[in-house]
Homo-oligomer: A and B are copies of this chain.
Amino acid sequence: MTSSADEPAAAPSLLAPVVAGTPVERLTDDQAFLDAMVATEAALAQACAETGIIDREAAAAVVTACRELKPSAHDLALRATAGGNPVIPLVADLRERVAADHPDAARAVHHGATSQDVVDTALMLLASRALEQTATDLREAAGQAARLADTHRATPACARTLGQQAMPTMFGLRAAGWLTGITEAIDRVESVASALPVQLGGPVGTTAAYGDRGPDVVAALAARLGLVAPVGSWHTRRTPVVDVGHAAVVSTGAAAKIAADVVVLSQSEVGEVAEASGGGSSSMAHKANPAQSVLITSAARQVPALVAVLGASMAAEQERATGAWHAEWEPLRQALRLCGAAAHRGADLLSGLRVDTVAMRRNVDHLVDTAGLDAQAVPQAQAAATPWIDRALAAYEQTRGSRT
Protein backbone atom coordinates (compact mmCIF):
# COMPACT_ATOMS: atom_id res chain seq x y z
CA MET A 1 0.00 0.00 0.00
CA THR A 2 2.98 2.27 -0.30
CA SER A 3 4.32 3.96 -3.37
CA SER A 4 6.19 1.85 -5.86
CA ALA A 5 9.94 2.26 -5.60
CA ASP A 6 10.69 3.33 -9.12
CA GLU A 7 8.18 6.10 -9.45
CA PRO A 8 7.96 9.30 -7.45
CA ALA A 9 4.58 10.61 -6.44
CA ALA A 10 3.09 13.19 -8.72
CA ALA A 11 5.13 16.39 -8.60
CA PRO A 12 3.57 19.48 -7.10
CA SER A 13 1.97 21.53 -9.79
CA LEU A 14 3.92 24.40 -11.23
CA LEU A 15 0.58 25.93 -12.07
CA ALA A 16 -0.85 25.76 -8.57
CA PRO A 17 1.66 27.44 -6.26
CA VAL A 18 -1.05 27.80 -3.65
CA VAL A 19 -0.97 24.02 -3.22
CA ALA A 20 2.73 23.28 -3.61
CA GLY A 21 4.32 22.27 -0.37
CA THR A 22 1.17 22.23 1.74
CA PRO A 23 0.24 19.07 3.66
CA VAL A 24 -2.86 18.44 1.61
CA GLU A 25 -0.80 18.11 -1.56
CA ARG A 26 0.46 14.61 -0.74
CA LEU A 27 -2.83 13.59 0.84
CA THR A 28 -4.62 14.03 -2.48
CA ASP A 29 -2.08 13.05 -5.12
CA ASP A 30 -2.32 10.11 -7.50
CA GLN A 31 -0.33 7.89 -5.18
CA ALA A 32 -2.63 8.65 -2.28
CA PHE A 33 -5.62 7.78 -4.42
CA LEU A 34 -4.00 4.58 -5.58
CA ASP A 35 -3.18 3.60 -2.02
CA ALA A 36 -6.76 4.32 -1.00
CA MET A 37 -8.12 2.08 -3.75
CA VAL A 38 -5.83 -0.75 -2.68
CA ALA A 39 -6.78 -0.22 0.96
CA THR A 40 -10.42 -0.45 -0.05
CA GLU A 41 -9.91 -3.77 -1.81
CA ALA A 42 -8.11 -5.16 1.20
CA ALA A 43 -10.76 -3.98 3.63
CA LEU A 44 -13.49 -5.35 1.40
CA ALA A 45 -11.98 -8.82 1.54
CA GLN A 46 -11.73 -8.58 5.30
CA ALA A 47 -15.30 -7.32 5.64
CA CYS A 48 -16.54 -10.17 3.48
CA ALA A 49 -14.65 -12.67 5.60
CA GLU A 50 -15.86 -11.13 8.83
CA THR A 51 -19.48 -11.50 7.71
CA GLY A 52 -18.96 -15.01 6.41
CA ILE A 53 -19.35 -14.13 2.75
CA ILE A 54 -15.90 -15.43 1.81
CA ASP A 55 -13.54 -17.55 3.80
CA ARG A 56 -10.78 -16.12 5.93
CA GLU A 57 -7.91 -17.75 4.06
CA ALA A 58 -9.04 -16.21 0.79
CA ALA A 59 -9.35 -12.86 2.46
CA ALA A 60 -5.87 -13.18 3.89
CA ALA A 61 -4.53 -13.93 0.44
CA VAL A 62 -6.17 -10.81 -0.92
CA VAL A 63 -4.82 -8.67 1.88
CA THR A 64 -1.33 -10.03 1.27
CA ALA A 65 -1.59 -9.32 -2.42
CA CYS A 66 -2.75 -5.78 -1.67
CA ARG A 67 0.25 -5.27 0.56
CA GLU A 68 2.72 -6.66 -1.94
CA LEU A 69 1.33 -5.21 -5.12
CA LYS A 70 3.10 -2.02 -6.09
CA PRO A 71 0.91 -0.77 -8.88
CA SER A 72 2.20 2.07 -10.97
CA ALA A 73 -0.14 5.04 -11.10
CA HIS A 74 1.16 5.86 -14.55
CA ASP A 75 0.50 2.39 -15.87
CA LEU A 76 -2.94 2.15 -14.32
CA ALA A 77 -3.94 5.54 -15.65
CA LEU A 78 -3.12 4.48 -19.18
CA ARG A 79 -4.94 1.18 -18.81
CA ALA A 80 -7.91 2.97 -17.19
CA THR A 81 -8.99 4.59 -20.41
CA ALA A 82 -10.34 1.48 -22.11
CA GLY A 83 -12.99 0.82 -19.49
CA GLY A 84 -13.20 4.35 -18.22
CA ASN A 85 -11.85 3.80 -14.73
CA PRO A 86 -8.68 2.56 -13.02
CA VAL A 87 -10.33 -0.17 -10.97
CA ILE A 88 -10.68 -2.55 -13.87
CA PRO A 89 -6.92 -2.93 -14.47
CA LEU A 90 -6.18 -2.79 -10.74
CA VAL A 91 -8.52 -5.69 -10.04
CA ALA A 92 -7.06 -7.63 -12.93
CA ASP A 93 -3.58 -7.21 -11.46
CA LEU A 94 -4.75 -8.16 -7.99
CA ARG A 95 -6.56 -11.26 -9.23
CA GLU A 96 -3.50 -12.34 -11.15
CA ARG A 97 -1.28 -11.92 -8.14
CA VAL A 98 -3.63 -13.78 -5.80
CA ALA A 99 -4.12 -16.52 -8.35
CA ALA A 100 -0.38 -17.07 -8.61
CA ASP A 101 -0.23 -18.45 -5.08
CA HIS A 102 -3.88 -19.19 -4.22
CA PRO A 103 -5.86 -20.02 -7.37
CA ASP A 104 -9.05 -20.59 -5.39
CA ALA A 105 -8.85 -17.21 -3.75
CA ALA A 106 -8.83 -15.18 -6.94
CA ARG A 107 -12.61 -14.97 -6.85
CA ALA A 108 -12.38 -13.34 -3.46
CA VAL A 109 -10.80 -10.26 -4.97
CA HIS A 110 -13.28 -7.37 -5.38
CA HIS A 111 -16.01 -9.76 -4.28
CA GLY A 112 -19.50 -8.48 -4.97
CA ALA A 113 -18.21 -5.01 -5.75
CA THR A 114 -18.21 -2.78 -8.80
CA SER A 115 -15.61 -0.29 -9.94
CA GLN A 116 -17.59 2.62 -8.63
CA ASP A 117 -17.60 1.15 -5.13
CA VAL A 118 -13.82 1.32 -5.05
CA VAL A 119 -13.39 4.70 -6.72
CA ASP A 120 -16.03 6.38 -4.55
CA THR A 121 -14.76 4.83 -1.34
CA ALA A 122 -11.19 5.81 -2.19
CA LEU A 123 -12.32 9.36 -2.90
CA MET A 124 -14.07 9.48 0.47
CA LEU A 125 -10.87 8.29 2.13
CA LEU A 126 -9.01 11.12 0.42
CA ALA A 127 -11.72 13.56 1.43
CA SER A 128 -11.53 12.32 4.99
CA ARG A 129 -7.81 12.90 5.25
CA ALA A 130 -7.86 16.19 3.39
CA LEU A 131 -10.74 17.57 5.45
CA GLU A 132 -9.13 16.46 8.70
CA GLN A 133 -5.97 18.31 7.73
CA THR A 134 -8.07 21.28 6.71
CA ALA A 135 -9.84 21.27 10.06
CA THR A 136 -6.49 21.19 11.85
CA ASP A 137 -5.30 24.19 9.88
CA LEU A 138 -8.59 26.01 10.39
CA ARG A 139 -8.30 25.46 14.15
CA GLU A 140 -4.81 26.93 14.05
CA ALA A 141 -6.14 29.87 12.05
CA ALA A 142 -9.01 30.34 14.48
CA GLY A 143 -6.59 30.52 17.37
CA GLN A 144 -4.66 33.24 15.60
CA ALA A 145 -7.79 35.17 14.71
CA ALA A 146 -8.98 34.93 18.32
CA ARG A 147 -5.67 36.31 19.47
CA LEU A 148 -5.96 39.25 17.07
CA ALA A 149 -9.57 39.89 18.06
CA ASP A 150 -8.70 39.96 21.71
CA THR A 151 -5.45 41.90 21.39
CA HIS A 152 -6.96 44.55 19.16
CA ARG A 153 -10.33 44.96 20.78
CA ALA A 154 -9.44 48.58 21.46
CA THR A 155 -7.33 49.31 18.39
CA PRO A 156 -9.18 51.96 16.39
CA ALA A 157 -9.21 51.50 12.65
CA CYS A 158 -11.07 52.72 9.61
CA ALA A 159 -13.97 50.63 8.47
CA ARG A 160 -14.28 50.81 4.71
CA THR A 161 -17.38 50.31 2.60
CA LEU A 162 -17.27 50.21 -1.20
CA GLY A 163 -13.62 51.15 -0.97
CA GLN A 164 -14.26 54.34 0.98
CA GLN A 165 -13.23 55.14 4.50
CA ALA A 166 -16.59 54.98 6.24
CA MET A 167 -16.67 55.09 10.04
CA PRO A 168 -14.41 54.03 12.90
CA THR A 169 -14.28 50.44 13.99
CA MET A 170 -11.86 48.37 16.05
CA PHE A 171 -9.36 46.19 14.25
CA GLY A 172 -10.30 43.52 16.76
CA LEU A 173 -13.87 43.53 15.48
CA ARG A 174 -12.68 42.85 11.96
CA ALA A 175 -10.56 39.98 13.30
CA ALA A 176 -13.63 38.77 15.21
CA GLY A 177 -15.45 38.58 11.90
CA TRP A 178 -12.59 36.49 10.50
CA LEU A 179 -12.83 34.28 13.56
CA THR A 180 -16.54 33.69 13.13
CA GLY A 181 -16.06 32.83 9.48
CA ILE A 182 -13.41 30.30 10.40
CA THR A 183 -15.54 28.93 13.21
CA GLU A 184 -18.37 28.34 10.76
CA ALA A 185 -15.95 26.67 8.37
CA ILE A 186 -14.71 24.35 11.10
CA ASP A 187 -18.29 23.40 11.85
CA ARG A 188 -19.07 22.63 8.19
CA VAL A 189 -15.80 20.78 7.57
CA GLU A 190 -15.94 18.65 10.70
CA SER A 191 -19.58 17.78 10.37
CA VAL A 192 -19.08 16.67 6.77
CA ALA A 193 -15.86 14.82 7.59
CA SER A 194 -17.57 12.83 10.30
CA ALA A 195 -20.34 11.65 7.96
CA LEU A 196 -18.39 10.50 4.91
CA PRO A 197 -19.91 7.23 3.72
CA VAL A 198 -18.35 4.11 2.33
CA GLN A 199 -19.67 3.06 -1.08
CA LEU A 200 -20.59 -0.58 -1.62
CA GLY A 201 -23.53 -1.47 -3.77
CA GLY A 202 -22.19 -4.01 -6.19
CA PRO A 203 -22.84 -3.74 -9.91
CA VAL A 204 -26.25 -2.09 -9.58
CA GLY A 205 -26.68 -1.09 -5.96
CA THR A 206 -28.42 -4.23 -4.74
CA THR A 207 -25.39 -5.90 -3.13
CA ALA A 208 -26.87 -9.02 -4.72
CA ALA A 209 -23.71 -11.04 -4.16
CA TYR A 210 -24.18 -10.83 -0.40
CA GLY A 211 -27.67 -12.31 -0.28
CA ASP A 212 -29.63 -10.43 2.36
CA ARG A 213 -26.41 -9.63 4.25
CA GLY A 214 -25.63 -6.47 2.24
CA PRO A 215 -26.05 -4.02 5.10
CA ASP A 216 -23.79 -6.14 7.32
CA VAL A 217 -20.98 -6.22 4.79
CA VAL A 218 -21.31 -2.51 4.21
CA ALA A 219 -21.19 -1.83 7.94
CA ALA A 220 -18.12 -4.00 8.33
CA LEU A 221 -16.34 -2.24 5.48
CA ALA A 222 -17.23 1.17 6.89
CA ALA A 223 -15.94 0.22 10.32
CA ARG A 224 -12.64 -0.97 8.90
CA LEU A 225 -12.08 2.18 6.87
CA GLY A 226 -13.30 4.68 9.44
CA LEU A 227 -16.16 5.80 7.26
CA VAL A 228 -19.91 5.76 7.80
CA ALA A 229 -22.37 3.11 6.55
CA PRO A 230 -24.82 4.88 4.24
CA VAL A 231 -28.59 4.37 4.11
CA GLY A 232 -28.03 2.76 0.75
CA SER A 233 -25.77 2.78 -2.24
CA TRP A 234 -25.18 6.31 -3.48
CA HIS A 235 -23.89 5.45 -6.97
CA THR A 236 -26.39 7.89 -8.40
CA ARG A 237 -27.43 9.78 -5.25
CA ARG A 238 -24.58 12.20 -4.88
CA THR A 239 -25.42 14.15 -1.75
CA PRO A 240 -22.18 13.05 -0.03
CA VAL A 241 -20.10 14.55 -2.81
CA VAL A 242 -21.85 17.91 -2.89
CA ASP A 243 -21.67 18.07 0.90
CA VAL A 244 -17.90 17.79 0.64
CA GLY A 245 -17.99 20.48 -2.02
CA HIS A 246 -19.95 22.81 0.22
CA ALA A 247 -17.48 22.35 3.06
CA ALA A 248 -14.69 23.22 0.61
CA VAL A 249 -16.48 26.37 -0.52
CA VAL A 250 -17.14 27.60 3.02
CA SER A 251 -13.64 26.82 4.19
CA THR A 252 -11.90 28.41 1.21
CA GLY A 253 -14.24 31.37 1.41
CA ALA A 254 -13.46 31.98 5.06
CA ALA A 255 -9.76 32.14 4.24
CA ALA A 256 -10.42 34.28 1.17
CA LYS A 257 -12.33 36.87 3.20
CA ILE A 258 -9.23 37.34 5.33
CA ALA A 259 -7.00 37.47 2.28
CA ALA A 260 -9.25 40.07 0.66
CA ASP A 261 -8.91 42.28 3.71
CA VAL A 262 -5.16 41.82 3.90
CA VAL A 263 -4.80 42.79 0.24
CA VAL A 264 -6.55 46.09 0.91
CA LEU A 265 -4.88 46.76 4.24
CA SER A 266 -1.41 46.09 2.86
CA GLN A 267 -1.79 48.38 -0.14
CA SER A 268 0.98 50.97 -0.31
CA GLU A 269 -1.45 53.79 0.35
CA VAL A 270 -3.13 52.06 3.30
CA GLY A 271 -0.21 50.28 4.96
CA GLU A 272 -2.04 48.99 8.02
CA VAL A 273 -0.87 45.38 7.88
CA ALA A 274 1.85 43.37 6.13
CA GLU A 275 2.42 39.71 5.59
CA ALA A 276 5.24 38.22 7.62
CA SER A 277 7.48 37.87 4.61
CA GLY A 278 6.11 39.71 1.66
CA GLY A 279 6.66 37.91 -1.58
CA GLY A 280 9.48 39.22 -3.72
CA SER A 281 9.24 40.43 -7.26
CA SER A 282 11.33 39.26 -10.20
CA SER A 283 11.77 42.87 -11.25
CA MET A 284 11.03 45.31 -8.40
CA ALA A 285 13.11 44.94 -5.28
CA HIS A 286 11.25 47.55 -3.23
CA LYS A 287 7.95 45.67 -3.19
CA ALA A 288 6.61 43.44 -0.44
CA ASN A 289 3.74 41.65 -2.08
CA PRO A 290 0.94 40.05 -0.09
CA ALA A 291 1.85 36.77 -1.76
CA GLN A 292 0.03 34.44 0.63
CA SER A 293 -3.17 36.44 0.30
CA VAL A 294 -2.91 36.44 -3.45
CA LEU A 295 -2.48 32.67 -3.53
CA ILE A 296 -5.41 32.13 -1.18
CA THR A 297 -7.51 34.37 -3.40
CA SER A 298 -6.52 32.34 -6.44
CA ALA A 299 -7.86 29.22 -4.73
CA ALA A 300 -11.13 30.85 -3.78
CA ARG A 301 -11.77 31.87 -7.36
CA GLN A 302 -11.61 28.24 -8.48
CA VAL A 303 -13.38 26.24 -5.79
CA PRO A 304 -16.97 27.42 -6.36
CA ALA A 305 -16.73 26.63 -10.08
CA LEU A 306 -15.32 23.18 -9.38
CA VAL A 307 -18.06 22.54 -6.88
CA ALA A 308 -20.66 23.61 -9.44
CA VAL A 309 -19.50 20.65 -11.54
CA LEU A 310 -20.25 18.40 -8.58
CA GLY A 311 -23.69 19.93 -8.14
CA ALA A 312 -24.57 19.40 -11.78
CA SER A 313 -23.61 15.75 -11.44
CA MET A 314 -26.45 15.08 -9.01
CA ALA A 315 -28.69 14.55 -12.03
CA ALA A 316 -27.22 11.06 -12.47
CA GLU A 317 -29.41 8.71 -14.40
CA GLN A 318 -30.27 5.11 -13.55
CA GLU A 319 -27.72 3.03 -11.62
CA ARG A 320 -24.52 4.50 -13.15
CA ALA A 321 -24.39 7.85 -14.89
CA THR A 322 -23.08 8.25 -18.42
CA GLY A 323 -20.49 10.90 -17.65
CA ALA A 324 -21.75 12.77 -14.61
CA TRP A 325 -19.87 10.51 -12.25
CA HIS A 326 -16.58 10.55 -14.13
CA ALA A 327 -16.81 14.34 -14.26
CA GLU A 328 -16.67 14.56 -10.47
CA TRP A 329 -13.27 13.00 -9.81
CA GLU A 330 -10.79 15.66 -10.75
CA PRO A 331 -12.93 18.64 -9.61
CA LEU A 332 -13.45 16.94 -6.24
CA ARG A 333 -9.73 16.38 -5.84
CA GLN A 334 -8.93 19.92 -6.92
CA ALA A 335 -11.52 21.38 -4.56
CA LEU A 336 -10.04 19.41 -1.66
CA ARG A 337 -6.50 20.49 -2.52
CA LEU A 338 -7.35 24.13 -2.93
CA CYS A 339 -9.45 24.26 0.21
CA GLY A 340 -6.79 22.55 2.25
CA ALA A 341 -4.10 24.79 0.84
CA ALA A 342 -6.14 27.92 1.55
CA ALA A 343 -6.69 26.86 5.15
CA HIS A 344 -3.01 26.09 5.64
CA ARG A 345 -1.88 29.39 4.15
CA GLY A 346 -4.60 31.21 6.03
CA ALA A 347 -3.20 29.96 9.32
CA ASP A 348 0.29 31.03 8.26
CA LEU A 349 -0.95 34.39 7.12
CA LEU A 350 -2.64 35.15 10.42
CA SER A 351 0.15 33.84 12.58
CA GLY A 352 2.69 36.12 10.94
CA LEU A 353 0.53 39.13 10.22
CA ARG A 354 2.26 42.38 11.11
CA VAL A 355 -0.22 44.91 12.42
CA ASP A 356 0.67 48.60 12.32
CA THR A 357 -1.60 50.18 14.91
CA VAL A 358 -0.01 53.57 14.38
CA ALA A 359 -0.99 53.56 10.72
CA MET A 360 -4.48 52.46 11.67
CA ARG A 361 -4.75 55.33 14.11
CA ARG A 362 -3.45 57.79 11.53
CA ASN A 363 -6.00 56.67 8.99
CA VAL A 364 -8.88 56.75 11.43
CA ASP A 365 -7.89 60.23 12.58
CA HIS A 366 -7.89 61.30 8.97
CA LEU A 367 -11.37 59.90 8.57
CA VAL A 368 -12.65 61.68 11.66
CA ASP A 369 -11.28 64.94 10.29
CA THR A 370 -12.44 64.50 6.71
CA ALA A 371 -15.89 63.32 7.58
CA GLY A 372 -16.33 65.84 10.35
CA LEU A 373 -17.18 63.14 12.84
CA ASP A 374 -17.89 63.76 16.48
CA ALA A 375 -14.88 63.42 18.77
CA GLN A 376 -16.74 60.63 20.53
CA ALA A 377 -17.02 58.53 17.40
CA VAL A 378 -14.01 56.37 18.22
CA PRO A 379 -14.85 55.64 21.86
CA GLN A 380 -18.45 54.97 20.83
CA ALA A 381 -17.27 52.50 18.22
CA GLN A 382 -15.17 50.78 20.83
CA ALA A 383 -18.04 50.51 23.28
CA ALA A 384 -20.32 49.16 20.60
CA ALA A 385 -17.77 46.71 19.22
CA THR A 386 -16.86 45.14 22.55
CA PRO A 387 -19.92 42.91 23.06
CA TRP A 388 -19.66 41.70 19.47
CA ILE A 389 -16.03 40.74 19.92
CA ASP A 390 -16.97 38.88 23.07
CA ARG A 391 -19.74 37.01 21.25
CA ALA A 392 -17.34 35.90 18.53
CA LEU A 393 -14.82 34.70 21.09
CA ALA A 394 -17.53 32.84 22.99
CA ALA A 395 -18.79 31.10 19.85
CA TYR A 396 -15.23 30.09 19.10
CA GLU A 397 -14.69 28.72 22.58
CA GLN A 398 -17.77 26.59 22.12
CA THR A 399 -16.28 25.14 18.93
CA ARG A 400 -13.01 24.46 20.71
CA GLY A 401 -14.85 22.59 23.40
CA SER A 402 -16.69 20.49 20.87
CA ARG A 403 -13.46 18.97 19.63
CA THR A 404 -12.74 16.85 22.63
Which one of A42-50, A59-67, A133-141, A164-172 contacts B?
Answer: A164-172
Q: Give 1 or 0 for each of A175-186: 1 = CB within 8 Å of chain B CB.
A: 011001101110
Contact indicator A334/B330 (Cβ below 8 Å): yes
Contact indicator A78/B12 (Cβ below 8 Å): yes
* Residue in A12, A78, A324 whose Cβ sees the most chain B Cβ within 10 Å: A12
Q: Is A106 an interface residue (CB 8 A)?
A: no
Kindly state the separation between the CA atoms of A324 and B334 in the bound complex, as whole angstroms. Answer: 17
Q: Is A400 an interface residue (CB 8 A)?
A: no
Contact indicator B314/A162 (Cβ below 8 Å): no
Contact indicator A169/B115 (Cβ below 8 Å): no
Which one of A96-104, A220-228, A230-238, A350-358 contacts B?
Answer: A230-238
Q: Which chain B residues border A130 with CB–CB below 8 Å?
A: none
Contact indicator A91/B282 (Cβ below 8 Å): yes
Q: Which of A119-157 contact B (CB under 8 A)?
A: none
Contact indicator B10/A11 (Cβ below 8 Å): yes
Which residue of chain B is the closest to A367 with respect to CB atoms? B268
Contact indicator A387/B212 (Cβ below 8 Å): yes
Kindly state the separation between the CA atoms of A160 and B294 in the bound complex, as whole angstroms. Answer: 14
Closest 8 CB pairs of A and B: A297-B323, A253-B314, A304-B311, A161-B320, A159-B204, A298-B326, A301-B327, A256-B315
Besides A11-B77, A17-B81, A212-B386, 8 new A-B residue pairs in contact (Cβ under 8 A), listed by A number: A12-B77, A14-B73, A17-B77, A173-B232, A232-B392, A264-B317, A302-B309, A305-B331
